[in-house]
Amino acid sequence: MSSTINTGSKSDQSDASGKLDLRGASGGGMFDYAPAPESVKAPIADTYGLFINGEFVDPSSGDRFETLNPSNEETLSMISSASVSDVDAAVQAARDALPEWSGLPGSVRGKYLYRIARRIQERARELAVLETLDGGKPIKESRDIDIPLAAAHFFYHAGWADKLEYAFPGKTPEPVGVCGQIIPWNFPFLMAAWKIAPALACGNTIVLKPAETTSLTALRLAEICQEVGLPKGVVNIVTGAGETGSALVDHPDVDKIAFTGSTGVGKMIAKATAPTNKRLTLELGGKSANIIFEDASIDQAVEGIVEGIYFNQGHVCCAGSRVFVQESVLDTVINKLGDRLASLRVGDPMDKNTDLGAINSKEQLGTINRYLETGTSEGATRHDVNPCEVPEKGYWCKPCFFTGVQPSHAIAREEIFGPVLAVMSFRTPDEALSRANNTPYGLAAGVWTDKGSKIFDMASKLDAGVVWLNTYNKFDPASPFGGFKESGFGREGGRHGLAAYLK
Ligand code: NAP
Ligand code: MG
């Protein structure tokens, strides 16, 4: 790692007079909030190496790529691009570390996991700031959700490390071996924790590849591995683009691939690993449905819809991107949704009042904008009711929703991965079910009603890995998460998630 550090001040959106530019965060509506910029700074090095065998090393090719702050397009740092031979070195380090790590008593592995969890808590504010600078999500989300949940995953799996034989009675649990783990940019640190914690608890060693636009917090996790004295080679982190990921997938000495990302890349990985002995789990895309019955608490349901689709700018695999509302309450829901949308504060992700931050990358913004055009050209009506003025620089998309959506419209079928909601209606529970299930995906669903019988009936018939009832987007390390159909296979979290890392 280079010795020069900046204090993160490059990413402050201050003008020459030193005043913060928070135009986007002023919301509008009934009253204005005073700016509340996060004051903690996260030091960022000018360049980062690859984390191989417990050390940061330069990439063999010397190639580096920049990582940006998507809210102002400024360069934060230069990240190393791992070549085939770097990936090979990382896999070799993980292979060499395997006998010692898998041979440790579970209670000792557990101690390392507890140490990592506590160190994450100690460095939580810095990690949250870094996640927000690098990825664009609001600081209140990285601070209150991403980082605490990541620590919780390490705590939870620390507890399992010496109890694996109780998790699977009558079996002798053995680690799978060297695990290649590839993660996306929407929850960079949390996804790293989801992947690393169970694998370590079960005695595996790891080569992790973060997404190109959001490597910084994974590299901080590498520092934490050093700080807690994790044996060398147990966790290796190789940064780079898709080619680095496919070098990991194709490496003959990797025993398992765990992938979270798009369905397209997931299918390619499934093909590449099919003729090999590699194990595979895939957590892919979604087009999840929120179903609102007329007997629901409508205010609560509208809050849940908003949480379901506008959380993290809609960069959520299980986002409730389709909403089905019972016809008798459709107008009420649309009016309340419009009012709520108008009060969301879009702008500087580092402001503690911000509800929606920046879109993660220029490419993703382009994808979202294409869907917005297609939605209108296919005949749906777009409701753009948010009054925020977004900054000129950076990648921004204000939250919106469409009505008049037909099941055949692209915005009702395809994953947009942005703050864009398709609102549709239904008359009977059966119609709601068949329309909600009419998708190649099957990741999550939400049901809103005050009738317990309806809740259980719907939950048992929805083709989705997770069904939230009168709530949405709630996560817990003890609860397995994963999809059906084209949303992938395998579970992460809970006892089911451990099984994926054991023979
Ligand atoms: P992506 O393009 O599939 O990328 C995911 C990861 O795979 C990144 O690290 C990416 O590297 C890498 N990659 C790209 N091409 C590869 C290849 N040929 N071989 C191996 N690795 C490759 O997905 P994304 O656009 O970053 O993420 C958004 C998607 O993830 C959405 O579809 C979302 O639904 C899904 N997601 C699912 C879950 C879940 O739990 N089911 C959770 C979060 C996200 P680069 O970044 O360098 O391209
Ligand atoms: Mg970035």
Pocket mutation for ligand 1, best pick of 317, 360, 475 (most atoms within 8 Å of C-beta): 317
Contact residues for 205 (Cβ-Cβ < 8 A; gap 6+):
94, 95, 97, 98, 101, 102, 177, 178, 179, 199, 233, 234, 235, 236
Give me the amino acid identity at 156: Y
Residue 272 CA: which ligand 1 atom is closest?
19
Q: Which CATH class is domain 47-283+487-499?
A: alpha beta
- Tell me the per-residue pLDDT of 486-495, one tens digit each, with 9 for 90 and over: 999 999 999 9
Contact 113, 201 (CB under 8 A): yes
Which ligand sits closest to the CA of 11?
2
Closest residue by Cα to atom 42, ligand 1, is: 317
How much is the pLDDT for 59?
98
Reading the block at residue 439, the tokens are: 């998708």
Q: How far away, in angstroms, is 71 Cα from ligand 2 center?
A: 9
With H, G, I as helix, E, B as strand and everything else as coil, classify residue 182: strand
| pLDDT band per the 50, 70, 90 thresholds, residue 336 | very high
- Does 289-476 match 47-283+487-499 at the fold level? no
Residue 483 CA: which ligand 1 atom is closest?
41
Reading the block at residue 186, the tokens are: 């929407």
Is domain 289-476 in CATH 3.40.309.10, yes or no?
A: yes
* The pLDDT of residue 2 is above 80: no
Rounded alpha-carbon distances, angstroms, from residue 204 to 97, 218, 276: 9, 18, 19
Which ligand sits closest to the CA of 288?
1
Strand (E) or helix (H) holding 459: helix 452-461
Residue 415 CA: which ligand 1 atom is closest?
32
Contact 210, 63 (CB under 8 A): no
How much is the pLDDT for 26?
44
* The pLDDT of residue 284 is above 70: yes
Q: Mean pLDDT throughout 408-421?
A: 98
Which ligand sits closest to the CA of 489?
1
Q: Mean pLDDT throughout 116-129?
A: 98
Asked if 317 is an active-site residue, the reply is yes
| Cβ atoms < 10 Å from Cβ of 371 | 20
Residue 488 CA: which ligand 1 atom is closest?
41
Domain ranges within the chain, ordered by starting residue: 47-283+487-499, 289-476
**Dist CA 320 CA 33 (whole Å):** 28
Pocket mutation for ligand 1, best pick of 146, 212, 260 (most atoms within 8 Å of C-beta): 260
Strands 466-469 and 444-448: parallel
Max intra-chain CA distance, the chain: 69
Closest CA to 71 of 120, 34, 32, 20: 20
- Tell me the per-residue pLDDT of 286-333, one tens digit each, with 9 for 90 and over: 999 999 999 999 999 999 999 999 999 999 999 999 999 999 999 999
How much is the pLDDT for 365?
98
Closest residue by Cα to atom 47, ligand 1, is: 241
Which ligand sits closest to the CA of 78?
2
Q: How far away, in angstroms, is 288 Cα from ligand 2 center?
A: 27
DSSP 143-167: IIIIHHHHHHHHHHHHHHTT-HHHH
Q: How far away, in angstroms, is 489 Cα from ligand 1 center?
A: 15
Q: How far away, in angstroms, is 263 Cα from ligand 1 center?
A: 8
**Dist CA 69 CA 231 (whole Å):** 33
Cα dihedral 269, 273, 278, 280 in deg (nearest 10): 40
Catalytic residue selected from 131, 141, 212, 283: 283
How much is the pLDDT for 31?
64
How much is the pLDDT for 16?
38
Q: How far away, in angstroms, is 133 Cα from ligand 2 center?
A: 7
Q: How far away, in angstroms, is 33 Cα from ligand 1 center?
A: 36
With H, G, I as helix, E, B as strand and everything else as coil, classify residue 180: strand
Catalytic residue selected from 317, 318, 397, 400: 317
Closest residue by Cα to atom 2, ligand 1, is: 262
**Dist CA 76 CA 129 (whole Å):** 13
Percent of the chain's residues with pLDDT above 70 = 94
| Cβ atoms < 10 Å from Cβ of 342 | 17
* The pLDDT of residue 189 is above 90: yes
Higher pLDDT residue, 162 or 17?
Answer: 162
How much is the pLDDT for 459?
96
| pLDDT band per the 50, 70, 90 thresholds, residue 32 | confident
- Tell me the per-residue pLDDT of 425-467, one tens digit each, with 9 for 90 and over: 999 999 999 999 999 999 999 999 999 999 999 999 999 999 9
Contact residues for 285 (Cβ-Cβ < 8 A; gap 6+):
262, 263, 317, 415, 417, 441, 443, 486, 487
How much is the pLDDT for 374?
98
How much is the pLDDT for 30?
52
Enumerate residues lining ligand 1, CB below 6 A.
182-186, 209, 211-212, 241-242, 245-246, 249, 260-262, 265, 268-269, 283-286, 317, 415, 417, 443, 483, 488
Pocket mutation for ligand 1, best pick of 183, 212, 262 (most atoms within 8 Å of C-beta): 262
How much is the pLDDT for 464?
96
Strand arrangement, sheet containing 256-260: 55-57, 50-52, 235-237, 205-209, 178-182, 256-260, 279-283, 488-489
Residue 487 CA: which ligand 1 atom is closest?
41
Contact 249, 227 (CB under 8 A): no
| pLDDT band per the 50, 70, 90 thresholds, residue 13 | very low
Residue 213 CA: which ligand 1 atom is closest?
46
Strand (E) or helix (H) holding 291: strand 289-292
Give me the amino acid identity at 419: P
* The pLDDT of residue 3 is above 90: no
| Cβ atoms < 10 Å from Cβ of 404 | 14
Q: Taking the model in full, what pTM does it have? A: 0.93
How much is the pLDDT for 33?
82
| pLDDT band per the 50, 70, 90 thresholds, residue 469 | very high
Closest residue by Cα to atom 19, ligand 1, is: 246
| pLDDT band per the 50, 70, 90 thresholds, residue 12 | very low
Closest CA to 7 of 122, 129, 120: 129
Strands 420-426 and 322-326: parallel
Q: How far away, in angstroms, is 230 Cα from ligand 1 center?
A: 28
C-alpha 140, offset from chain centre = 15
Which ligand sits closest to the CA of 361?
2
**Dist CA 472 CA 466 (whole Å):** 10
Mean pLDDT estimate for the chain: 93
Rounded alpha-carbon distances, angstroms, from residue 274 to 252, 264, 268, 440, 454: 13, 16, 10, 21, 41
Give me the amino acid identity at 200: L
